[in-house]
Chains A and B, each alone.
Chain A
Amino acid sequence: MAPYHAVLVHFPVALWTTAALVILVRALSDGALAKASDRVLVPLLALGALLGLAAYVVGLLVWPLETAAASPLARNHLLVATWSLVYWTLLLITRWMQGEAVWEGVTRWVMLVLAGLGSILLTITGTLGGHLSGNPTAVSRVLHFLGWDVYDTFYLPDWVLLLLAVAIIVLPVIGLWGRRRPA
């Protein structure tokens, strides 16, 4: 399944990268070109999510789960790939549900930050995939410089997992609270 996974991942990578560029253009401009490109954002993100899911599922079939879960590099790839898929799906849902309102006021800068984070996730996912297939890149050295050796499994200590649990609860609560408040 590894060769099919390698073929499939090209699609979400291309689609999400293009989507990130569209967000960049739209966040920086209200011109006709920017608005026109924004019209394809939802289709780009939707296709990206669909083909990303397909690549993800095929990727899961490359090795038995027991094997993948025992390899630090495969664990890392699986972790960041999962986050990438969920994260870009979040961007799709947001743009889809909120429509062009996401380009109003400060929200456009929020979108820009989110697209930047998504691009970083995507880059790391691709780098780790390259490592697994025997083609490491210099991105791993950058990550090492920034504090993560990709040969070490990315995991959090228990206390940070607890903190994470609190954040997971707090974030929707803030949303609910804000929704009930006047503008």
Chain B
Amino acid sequence: MKQRLLYLSLIIFIGMLGVSWLTHGTGVVKNDLARNIYIPERLTMPLQVQAAYNGRDMFFRYRWPSERPGIYHDMLKYEGGKWVRYGGGVAGPQPQGIYEDRLTMLVDDGGVPEFGKYGGYVTIGDRMRFFTDEATKEEVKAHPYLGGKKNQSEVGKYLPATRSDINDWASVVSEEELANLRRAGYFLDLWHWRAHRSNPVGKSDDQFVAEARYGDSGKGPFFTNWDKARKQPKLMFDPAKVGRTALDWDDLAQRKLGFDDLYYLREDQAVPFDANLEWKDGDTIPRRVLRAGEGSRADISVAGQARWKDGFWDVALVRRMDTGNPLEDKAMVDKRVYSVAFAVHRNATGSRWHYVSLPVTLGLGRDAELEAVRFEGEAPKWEQPWFDVTLFYPGQVSWPLLSGAKHAGAEAIKAGVPVKYRHSEHQLAHYGVEMEFSDEIQRNWLLTLIGGVLLIAGFGIGLNLLLARKGA
């Protein structure tokens, strides 16, 4: 009898270990859009990059997988007598799939020393947009500088030294200090290609990150098509030029419109909106109007055609090596080494639901991870091998967190140890997800630890009671 009980105890003990092994890590991580939490199915993805220059222009070529091309964005659909917006920024994927794919690249020439070691993490500050504890629009708008002077309504990317306290997004240093920092090159250049808001007109947005993320001076490749007062679009398609006044929502919903179709509204193909036309349910007008852009903000163009084919985007961008705008762009100089970091938005996601890279060194005729090849002529032949980058979902990990008491590597950061030395992209992706459920996971982990100790103790007591009987 006691032998059977001994076996039973052992089976229960080992059985519990088995159940634990099979079920661990479940029951906590789940999407919670109310808390701005959405975990993508895949935590990493590949990106391939090439770079080339001819002494006048700098070229980058990017290739990455995507199940389908996200070329629609931000639409106004006529519904029951009203124009309703679809495709604005939401937590996770846009439910109707109306959100553009994007490719972004941060560039630094050494002006932001932390960037070369920690990449985009240094731009993720306190209470970022779409973090669970994001600052409210009212708070940002009430900020005298960011809200009042710079017309910001959310906390986006910013650099650490632009704040007197990195744990407080609102602690912006004086305007004089900001100007000094910028003159010293303390900003990141941001190449920002958008599959809807810039690609159809052969452009990429040109931005930079300093105390906030700004567009360069001049005119960007798009503007908003919404008349707030009348609650209607400002512009519609010019029927004389394109043969229609609006798109058909069903064509968008069923993804019938491709690269060669009209799925965007260009300024030169638009006329003022006519509310007196007989609009019908399903009529759709893009909420963004595209244009060539002007000035520094229009520095970056698409080289050739950026297209999605057979499951991959293939995008090449070109810009003057020196744009003559040293306060907004990082000039590319032959024989110099830079730091770059990439990000991709796909699957109808925006904001922080992107895949990012760790920083990569870029050398113009110099040894580096990504070596830009010098060529003669107008356009590169792209004969060099691709440089492979692993992108990862970063979760809600901010620079204040990484620099604070809750990060075991904070001392290593203070000592200047680069992130690559201690963490892989795979690891960072998993940590990023765990940070989003930090409290819940910590609770269950502690209960698991205690439960395991008690299970061992319970098994030990039972075992010794059974054996004692046997030995007596």
Contact for B23 among A105, A134, A156, A171, CB less than 8 A: A156
Residues 449-472 of B at the A interface (beta carbon under 8 Å):
449, 451-471
Contact B426 A151 (CB under 8 A): yes
Bound CA span A99–B470, Å:
12
Residues 35-76 of A at the B interface (beta carbon under 8 Å):
63-64, 66-72, 74-75
In this assembly, does B6 line the interface, its C-beta being within 8 Å of a C-beta of chain A?
yes
Measured between beta carbons, the chain A residues less than 8 angstroms from B254 are: none
User: Which of A9-17, A19-27, A159-167 is the interface stretch?
Assistant: A159-167
Nearest chain A CB to B454 CB, angstrom units: 5
Nearest chain A CB to B306 CB, angstrom units: 35
Contact B444 A157 (CB under 8 A): yes
In this assembly, does A182 line the interface, its C-beta being within 8 Å of a C-beta of chain B?
yes
Contact for B452 among A70, A82, A117, CB less than 8 A: A82
Bound CA span A118–B375, Å:
62
Residue on A nearest B441 in the bound complex, by CB:
A153
In this assembly, does A79 line the interface, its C-beta being within 8 Å of a C-beta of chain B?
yes
Contact for A154 among B25, B405, B430, CB less than 8 A: B25
Bound CA span A155–B2, Å:
33
Residue on B nearest A146 in the bound complex, by CB:
B21
In this assembly, does B20 line the interface, its C-beta being within 8 Å of a C-beta of chain A?
yes
Chain B 411-432 interface 0/1 with A at a Cβ cutoff of 8 Å (1 = within): 0000000000110001100110
Tell me the dominant secondary structure on chain B's binding face: helix
Measured between beta carbons, the chain B residues less than 8 angstroms from A147 are: 21-22
Measured between beta carbons, the chain B residues less than 8 angstroms from A132 are: 408
In this assembly, does A175 line the interface, its C-beta being within 8 Å of a C-beta of chain B?
yes
With A90-B456, A107-B470, A160-B20 already in contact, the answer to whether A79 and B448 are too (CB < 8 A) is: yes
Chain A interface residue count, CB cutoff 8 Å, equals 68
Measured between beta carbons, the chain A residues less than 8 angstroms from B10 are: 110, 113
Interface centre among A72, A74, A148, A176 (most CB of B within 10 A): A72
Measured between beta carbons, the chain B residues less than 8 angstroms from A138 are: none
With A67-B406, A83-B452, A179-B469 already in contact, the answer to whether A156 and B24 are too (CB < 8 A) is: yes
Residues 193-234 of B at the A interface (beta carbon under 8 Å):
none
With A75-B445, A98-B467 already in contact, the answer to whether A167 and B434 are too (CB < 8 A) is: no
Contact A175 B21 (CB under 8 A): no
Residues 113-158 of A at the B interface (beta carbon under 8 Å):
113, 117, 132, 134, 146-149, 151-158
With A63-B408, A86-B456, A154-B448 already in contact, the answer to whether A171 and B462 are too (CB < 8 A) is: yes
Contact A157 B465 (CB under 8 A): no
Contact A105 B434 (CB under 8 A): no
Residue on A nearest B4 in the bound complex, by CB:
A178
Contact A170 B1 (CB under 8 A): no
Contact for A178 among B5, B19, B406, B410, CB less than 8 A: B5
With A157-B26, A165-B451, A175-B465 already in contact, the answer to whether A66 and B442 are too (CB < 8 A) is: no
With A70-B406, A157-B28 already in contact, the answer to whether A78 and B449 are too (CB < 8 A) is: yes
Residue on A nearest B446 in the bound complex, by CB:
A69
In this assembly, does A7 line the interface, its C-beta being within 8 Å of a C-beta of chain B?
no
Contact A174 B470 (CB under 8 A): no
Residues 248-267 of B at the A interface (beta carbon under 8 Å):
none
With A67-B408, A151-B427, A154-B24 already in contact, the answer to whether A94 and B456 are too (CB < 8 A) is: no
Residue on B nearest A97 in the bound complex, by CB:
B464
With A167-B16, A168-B451, A170-B12 already in contact, the answer to whether A175 and B466 are too (CB < 8 A) is: yes
In this assembly, does B184 line the interface, its C-beta being within 8 Å of a C-beta of chain A?
no
In this assembly, does A32 line the interface, its C-beta being within 8 Å of a C-beta of chain B?
no
Contact A171 B469 (CB under 8 A): no
In this assembly, does A101 line the interface, its C-beta being within 8 Å of a C-beta of chain B?
yes
With A79-B448, A134-B422, A164-B451 already in contact, the answer to whether A157 and B1 are too (CB < 8 A) is: no
Contact for B24 among A90, A155, A177, A178, CB less than 8 A: A155
Measured between beta carbons, the chain B residues less than 8 angstroms from A74 are: 408
Contact B449 A176 (CB under 8 A): no
In this assembly, does A28 line the interface, its C-beta being within 8 Å of a C-beta of chain B?
no
Nearest chain B CB to A77 CB, angstrom units: 11
Measured between beta carbons, the chain B residues less than 8 angstroms from A148 are: 21, 24-25
Contact for B405 among A67, A86, A134, A183, CB less than 8 A: A67
In this assembly, does B242 line the interface, its C-beta being within 8 Å of a C-beta of chain A?
no
Contact A94 B466 (CB under 8 A): no
Residues of A within 8 A of B (CB): 63-64, 66-72, 74-75, 78-79, 82-83, 86-87, 90, 93-94, 97-99, 101-102, 104-107, 110, 113, 117, 132, 134, 146-149, 151-161, 163-165, 167-179, 181-183
- Assuming A107-B470, A157-B444, A181-B2, what are 8 further A-B pairs, CB within 8 angstroms? A70-B438, A110-B463, A149-B430, A152-B434, A157-B23, A172-B465, A175-B462, A175-B463
16 A-B Cβ contacts within 8 A?
Answer: A70-B407, A101-B470, A148-B21, A152-B434, A153-B445, A154-B445, A156-B23, A157-B444, A158-B444, A163-B16, A164-B454, A167-B458, A170-B12, A174-B12, A175-B462, A181-B5
- Which 8 A-B pairs have CB atoms at the shortest separation, nearest pair first? A157-B27, A175-B465, A175-B462, A101-B471, A151-B430, A155-B444, A90-B460, A178-B5
